[in-house]
Amino acid sequence: ILNVEQSPQSLHVQEGDSTNFTCSFPSSNFYALHWYRWETAKSPEALFVMTLNGDEKKKGRISATLNTKEGYSYLYIKGSQPEDSATYLCATPSGGSNYKLTFGKGTLLTVNP
């Protein structure tokens, strides 16, 4: 069973602030790291999938980095907006043909206007 940890569990920021949070995962037998954004009452939305050490991906104001050697990924949001309020999940697959994902508990971000 993989251990995926996310921190912090929740945070509140003001509109316009930049913020970041962490996902830790086992560095051994690493295959990929997924980030999802989950708004209340909606489906989790895939943000990024990262595979290579040193990867950096960007989607608008959101970016993510990956360190597979030490087993962590950071998600950054620049100039947070109220619509960024959501739970951000990370997950890593156990490998094999089924590609089963193990999720962290998520970071709940609230952006106050």
Partner 1 sequence: GAVVSQHPSWVICKSGTSVKIECRSLDFQATTMFWYRQFPKQSLMLMATSNEGSKATYEQGVEKDKFLINHASLTLSTLTVTSAHPEDSSFYICSARAIETGGHYEQYFGPGTRLTVT
Query: Measured from the CB of residue 87, what is the shortest distance to partner 1 in angstroms?
Result: 11
Question: Taking contact as CB under 8 A, which single stretch among the options 22-30, 62-70, 78-86, 101-109 is the one that binds partner 1?
Answer: 101-109
Handedness of CA 21, 33, 55, 27 (dihedral sign): positive
Contacting residue, 28, 29, 41, 83, with partner 1 by CB under 8 A: 41
CA 89 from centre of chain: 5
3-state percent breakdown (helix, strand, coil) of the chain, nearest 5? 5, 50, 45
Contact between 102 and 92 under an 8 Å Cβ cutoff? The reply is: yes
52 in contact with partner 1 (CB under 8 A) = no
Chain positions 56 to 85 lying near partner 1, rule: CB under 8 A, are none
Contacting residue, 106, 107, 109, 111, with partner 1 by CB under 8 A: 106
Element holding 84 (H helix, E strand)? none
Sites of contact with partner 1 (CB under 8 A): 4, 32, 34, 36, 41-44, 46, 49, 51, 89, 91, 93, 98-106
